[in-house]
Structures are given as structure tokens and as C-alpha cells.
Structure 1
Amino acid sequence: MTTPAAPLRRLGLTGSIGAGKSTVAALLRARGLTVLDADEQARHVTQEPETLRAIGNEFPGTVTGGVLDRAALAAAAFRDPQRTAALNAIVHPRVRARMAALEAQAAARGEPWVVQDVPLLFEGGLDEQMDAVLVVDAPLEERVARVMARSGLSREDVLARDARQLGAAEKRQRATVVIENAGPPDELGARVDAALHVLGIHPRSRQV
């Protein structure tokens, strides 16, 4: 008699701005885990004609010739919480559908775990749908310096963006495991391996 496959489990991956979440996501992929990037799926979704029509109807002037003006949309959608909620109501269900389809593919391949890389995991209440949550963190000044170096934003802009997210201390408290991403970058891989060990996640292949 064939033993039924264990249900797919979800590992939520998140972290404050500049913490190094994307770097950890790349290391998890290199270790054989499927990582589903919510931001990447949102970019795909906002290129679909149906989504563009809905956005254009809700935010006139943000879609021209079937192309989304992201700067105009940001200015229109993020000026107040109600407008942000209106955009989220268009985009988020479509992103969730894409993530669910990719999860189903991973389950069909027999993968025991899938990683959901979601910047606003806690803010959106999605942590409740995860079997475990991995938070990447680093000291505030180090995070600010990283973002300023890569984006050209001012210190005030970075701090303002950070303030719009759940505080790092709260994220740490609600995490299953925290990865400290401070100090030499070459130490991060070992910390990722240690976190996976604590979580009991054993990827099928390790390519690093």
C-alpha cells in the first residue's frame, strides 16, 4: 500500500528593508528550495491585460497604451490608506492565485517545503498561513547604509520606508527563527544552513 505524500509546508521569509532578505532567498534557492517571490509575481500580474484594465479604471492616467506607469500609480495609490487598499484589492488576489498555482506545482514534484518570500508577511497577516517564519535582520544603521548605497535614497527616505513596516523588534519576536545578517557576507551561508537545521528542513540538493 502506497503511503500518501505529506502535505506541502510553507516557510515564510521576510525582513525589514535592507536586512538582506533577497540574499537569503538566493541562498535558499541555491540549496535546492523552491522560493516564490511575491514581488516578482506582482510584477507579472501587473503586466496582464485584465489587471491593467482594472488598475486603469480605478486609477485613471496610470495605464497608457497597455503599459503601466509605475511612478504615477505609486503617486496615486499610496497617498492614503483607502487608495492603497483599492490597489491591493486588485493586485493581491491575483498574486495569491499565482502563488497557489506555483505551490501546487512544487507539491506535484514531491517537494516537502516551499518558501514564500513576502516583504509584508506580518503586515498582511500572511504569517498565519505559514508553518514557520524565517526573519532576516541586521542593525538599523547597517540596513540604512545598504539601502542608501544601492538605491541612492536619502537617509530620511530609508527611515521613512522602514517606519511604514512592522518594527524589526516585533518581527523578531514573531519569527520562528531569526537570521542575523550583520558582519562579513561570507558568514551568511552558514547561518542559513543553521536556520534550516533548526527548522528541520533538509533540501534535496545542496549546490553550494
Structure 2
Amino acid sequence: MIILGITGSVGMGKTEAGKYFIKNNIDVFDCDKEIATFYNKKDTIFEIKKNFPSTIHNNKVDKNALANIVFNDKSKLKLLEELLHKKLQKEQSFWLRKKIREKKNLLVFDVPLLFEKDNIKKYDFVMVLSCNKALQRIRVLKRQGWNEERYEKTLKEQIPDYTKQTLADIIIKSDRGKRYLNQEIIKIIKEVKNKKNRKIHEILKEF
């Protein structure tokens, strides 16, 4: 089995790349999507209510209010990350084992903070998405709940794009159109599948 990690700074096109992997019949574990589901679960709501009581309204998490708190207080950000990371690790491990039973030979993990927070040994290859700074900014500021301040603070919390590119095995530019992106991903799938597979027990040891 081959494990490919995809990452990149905020607004670099990770989600779009993930869609093209899925389109080409490769299963993708999207960390952001998985975390989004946690906020609707009773155990997460309970934990957030205990630590961030002002962000709960009608037993629902106000994610914008939560973002405002954690991006202005590093200790609160660390607390939230620890809370969510434990749940995420559990779900990643469960998903991986399911795909092993299905005898998949290539899996993709979309991990926004792969270099910053994750264990790089999990992955056989790491692919970094990148684009020009102007497009990156436009993409992010279109998102609900985002503004210049949040954007700049997020960038400061992340390893710079140029550094990520030096750490990557594969680099894809996401500002060259959807057709280019799909063609590059098809090429990467073929190349990666021809590489030597890691043994299952070696993969599970890292997860």
C-alpha cells in the first residue's frame, strides 16, 4: 500500500485536488471535512461547552465565535487543537483499517497542517499544492467568516509556502486551471502506483 499526503497553505487548492483524486477513483480522507463533522457530535459539543462556553448557542457550536477566540489566544488554540486532534487520529486509524480490508493500494490524506502538526512518517510521499499569492488571498477572503486579520494570523501560524515546497516530494501549481490539475493528478497516480509498496504493519505502526 502507498500513502500519499497532500497539504499546502490556506487557499492553495487542497480541496480541489482532493476532488480530482476521488474523480480518478482514489479514496481521500479529508481532515477538514472530518473535523467539521465533529462539531455536530454530542461529545465534542460537551467538550467545547466546558472550555469555550460563550461559543455554544442552542446547543450548537458557533464556529465563527470559536475562531475569534482561538485566533486571539494561542493557549486556547492549543487547547482546541488537542481536543480535535485526538478525535481525528481515531477516525484516521478507523478509516485506514477499513480501506486495508477493502484491499486498496493507494490512499490519500488531505492534511492542512501536515508539516506543522502531523507525523510525516505516515506518508510515503507528500504532495504540496501551491499558487500565486494574489489568487490565494482572493480564495480565502471569499470564504464565510474570513477577513484580512484572520487570513494574516493563519498565515503566521503556518510554515511558509516556499518552505513547504522544499520539503515536498511532489509540487502542483493550482493556478493553471482545472484541466491542468486533473492531468497532473492522473500522472501522479500512475507514477505513485508504480513505486514500491510499504507493508501494512509498517503503515499501521505510524498511525
Per the normalisation by structure 1, the TM-score is 0.83
Aligned match for 2:174, one of 157, 178, 181: 181
Higher helix share: 2
Question: Are 1:132 and 2:125 an aligned pair?
Answer: yes
Q: Secondary structure at the match of 2:37?
A: helix
Between the aligned residues of both structures, percent identity stands at 23
Q: Could you tell me how far apart the structure 2 residues matched to 1:42 and 1:69 are?
A: 14
Amino acid paired to 1:76:
I
Q: How many residues align structurally?
A: 195
Q: Secondary structure at the match of 1:42?
A: helix
Q: CA deviation at 1:182?
A: 2.6
Any stretches of 5+ residues in structure 2 without a counterpart? 196-207
Q: What aligned pairs does 1:1-208 form with structure 2 within 5 A after superposition?
A: 8-149=1-142, 158-200=151-193
Aligned CA distance change for structure 1 residues 94 and 152 (closer, same or farther; 3 Å): closer
Aligned CA distance change for structure 1 residues 74 and 159 (closer, same or farther; 3 Å): closer
Contact 1:18 1:147 in 2 (8 A): yes
Contact 1:37 1:118 in 2 (8 A): yes
Q: CA deviation at 1:121?
A: 0.9
Q: CA deviation at 1:143?
A: 1.9
Larger Rg: 1
Q: Secondary structure at the match of 2:166?
A: helix
Any stretches of 5+ residues in structure 1 without a counterpart? 1-7, 203-208
Deviates more, 1:125-134 or 1:85-94: 125-134
Q: Secondary structure at the match of 2:116?
A: coil
Aligned CA distance change for structure 1 residues 53 and 151 (closer, same or farther; 3 Å): closer
Q: CA deviation at 1:87?
A: 1.0
Q: CA-to-partner distance for each residue in 1:141-185, whole Å, 9 max, x for gaps?
A: 232233345659566654443333111111111111111223233
Give me the CA root mean square deviation. 2.2
Contact 2:165 2:171 in 1 (8 A): yes
Contact 1:41 1:99 in 2 (8 A): no
